[in-house]
Amino acid sequence: MPVNAEKEITTLWRNLHNAQGEICKTFYRWREAALEIAGPDADETEVALKAIRVIGKDIGKSFLPRLNWLKGEEAFLMNLGRALAGIWANEGAITSVEKGEKEGEVFIKCTRDPWPTYAKEYGVPMEEVAQCREKLFQTILEDVSLFFNIPLAIEMLKAIPRGEGMYLFRLYKAE
């Protein structure tokens, strides 16, 4: 029986998009449940940021076996930037990584992010979406910095949820 490649690719593509949507929705469903348990006095953003820290710690540990310093600082930072961008791409974002003009810096760009769309469905403030992405990346870097004994930092320069048209992060070796 011949395989209809176009049909198979379409099915896989649809399944990928469904899975990406479920990643976002699951986080916001969890957020709703946690807020109900925490009670009416809970700070919604603090609850979300606490969850992001837990997620980031787990992801940071998973990065360690795949990173190495053997090819030098520039290659290390590019690979780390690609790993951060890859997490985001798995969630449905369109990302890219570029070397910075200065030595020891990399820029991570995102021109399409599904998180703000799902956040609107659940009534989540856009500033919280931006804060969560920044906190996720910062938390991931904690274990990477500790393991490699390299002070790493990341800062958000632009954010889609803030109406700036894209996300722009600067990943760099802190002095």
Domains and CATH numbers, the chain: 5-173 (3.30.1380.20)
98 pLDDT higher than 90: yes
Q: How does residue 138 score in pLDDT terms, banded at 50, 70 and 90?
A: very high
At 104-119, the pLDDT tens digits run: 999 999 999 999 999 9
Cα dihedral 44, 47, 53, 58 sign: negative
**Cα–Cα nearest to 148, from 88, 96, 90, 75:** 75
| The pLDDT of residue 129 is above 90 | yes
Q: What are phi and psi of 114, to 5 degrees?
A: -75, -15
